[in-house]
């Protein structure tokens, strides 16, 4: 007699995998807020930017959820990413919707793209993948090079509470077209001296009558509000004009030191400033 495990295809041991090698599941679990984020980015550009062009840059654009969203909103979109499977997925999504964007394989601290942009954005803590101060500074230098004067950069990330001694966990479930994904993200207490925190995502994927769990482990660089302020201050062409949070509500600004979920609006100063 076969075991219930064999019958259902359930595997209890998580498979180690890079979740960016399975973009479809990544897309599913992060897609819910995409229209709200797209609306926010567009409105933030109206409110805080002084350039009126519609050229948008997304460093580390991933599976393309926001690339597609901004292209749908008639922005001319460019993006890059270090993951080839994520880029391939993004290109597939664009093709499906008969949309266009310029997507390149590359590092978000180098950002070797030509052109100038009115809006750039990097949300969901992606910036924390840059694991050294010099990479983080290089990133801001390239953003300042690529933005037109008056162009804005929206940077969304979870700041670090260095007093935290417990795990931080987030869990949510999404279901679409017969696929159900349960996503658990866990952050270990930060290592203040090393400026890093261990992260783990676990996705339980149920589809076609079977189920499996895949797990990805990585390290994020950590930032307090002051650490972030200092890193940004190295790039004199950028000014911090407002801070919002993950409510994506333009009517509500917050203090950079006031909470941990922050969405910074940086603006490229005029050339002569
Ligand atoms: C959390 S996902 C965010 C994707 C997309 N920006 C979004 O909002 O859905 C992080 C992305 O960063 C990419 N990434 C990580 N380090 C990178 C680097 N140094 N340069 C370019 N992309 C990087 C990963 O491949 C992944 O696609």
The predicted pLDDT at position 13 comes to 79
State the closest ligand 1 atom to the C-alpha of 107, by its place in the atom list counted from 1: 20
Q: Same domain, yes or no, for 184 and 254? A: no
Checking 24-28 for CB contacts under 8 A at 24+ apart, the result is 24/63, 24/89, 25/179, 25/181, 25/203, 25/205, 26/62, 26/63, 26/86, 27/63, 27/64, 27/65, 27/89, 27/93, 28/174, 28/176, 28/179, 28/181
245 domain residue, yes or no: yes
Q: Same domain, yes or no, for 147 and 193? A: no
20 within ligand 1 shell (Cβ under 6 A): yes
22 domain residue, yes or no: no
Contacting residues for 82 by C-beta, under 8 A, at least 6 apart: 60, 105, 106, 107, 108
21 domain residue, yes or no: no
**Nearest 5 degrees, angle CA 145-CA 147-CA 149?**
105
Number of domains composing the chain: 2
Nearest CA to ligand 1 atom 4: 62
State the closest ligand 1 atom to the C-alpha of 27, by its place in the atom list counted from 1: 9
Q: Same domain, yes or no, for 143 and 183? A: no
The residue segments making up the domain with residue 207 are 4-16+162-221
Q: How far is the CA of 62 from the centre of ligand 1 (A)?
A: 5
Mean pLDDT (10-residue bins), the chain, 273 residues:
37 82 93 96 98 97 98 98 98 98 97 96 98 98 98 98 96 95 97 98 95 96 98 98 97 95 97 78
CATH of the domain at 57: 3.40.50.150
pTM of the complete model = 0.94
CATH of the domain at 186: 2.20.130
53 domain residue, yes or no: yes
Q: How far is the CA of 146 from the centre of ligand 1 (A)?
A: 19
Question: Cα–Cα distance between 39 and 136 in angstroms, integer?
Answer: 27
112 domain residue, yes or no: yes
70 within ligand 1 shell (Cβ under 6 A): no
Q: How far is the CA of 65 from the centre of ligand 1 (A)?
A: 12
201 within ligand 1 shell (Cβ under 6 A): no
The predicted pLDDT at position 12 comes to 64
Pocket test for ligand 1, best of 27, 64, 112, 126 (most atoms within 8 A of CB): 126
Q: Same domain, yes or no, for 133 and 263? A: yes
């Amino acid at each position: 007699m076969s075991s219930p495990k064999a019958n259902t295809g359930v595997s209890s041991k998580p498979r180690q995998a890079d979740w960016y090698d399975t973009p479809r599941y990544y897309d599913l679990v992060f897609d819910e807020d995409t229209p709200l984020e797209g609306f926010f980015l567009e409105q933030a550009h109206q409110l805080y930017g002084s350039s009126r062009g519609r050229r948008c840059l997304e460093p580390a654009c991933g599976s393309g959820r926001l690339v597609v969203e901004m292209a749908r909103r008639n922005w001319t979109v460019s993006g890059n990413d270090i993951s080839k499977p994520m880029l391939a997925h993004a290109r597939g999504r664009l093709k499906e919707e008969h949309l266009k964007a310029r997507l390149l394989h590359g590092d978000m601290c180098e950002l070797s793209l030509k052109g100038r942009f009115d809006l750039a954005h990097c949300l969901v803590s992606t910036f924390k993948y840059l694991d050294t101060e010099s990479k983080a500074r290089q990133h801001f230098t390239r953003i300042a090079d690529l933005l037109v004067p008056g162009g804005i950069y929206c940077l969304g990330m979870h700041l670090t509470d260095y007093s935290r001694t417990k795990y931080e966990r987030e869990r949510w479930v999404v279901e679409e077209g017969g696929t159900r994904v349960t996503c658990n993200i866990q952050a270990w207490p930060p290592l203040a001296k090393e400026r890093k925190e261990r992260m783990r995502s676990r996705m339980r994927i149920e589809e076609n009558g079977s189920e499996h769990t895949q797990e990805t482990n990585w390290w994020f660089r950590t930032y307090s509000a002051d650490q972030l302020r200092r890193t940004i201050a190295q790039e004199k062409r950028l000014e911090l004009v407002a801070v919002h949070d993950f409510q994506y509500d333009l009517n509500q600004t917050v203090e950079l030191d006031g909470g941990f979920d922050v969405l910074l609006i940086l603006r490229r100063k005029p050339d002569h400033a």
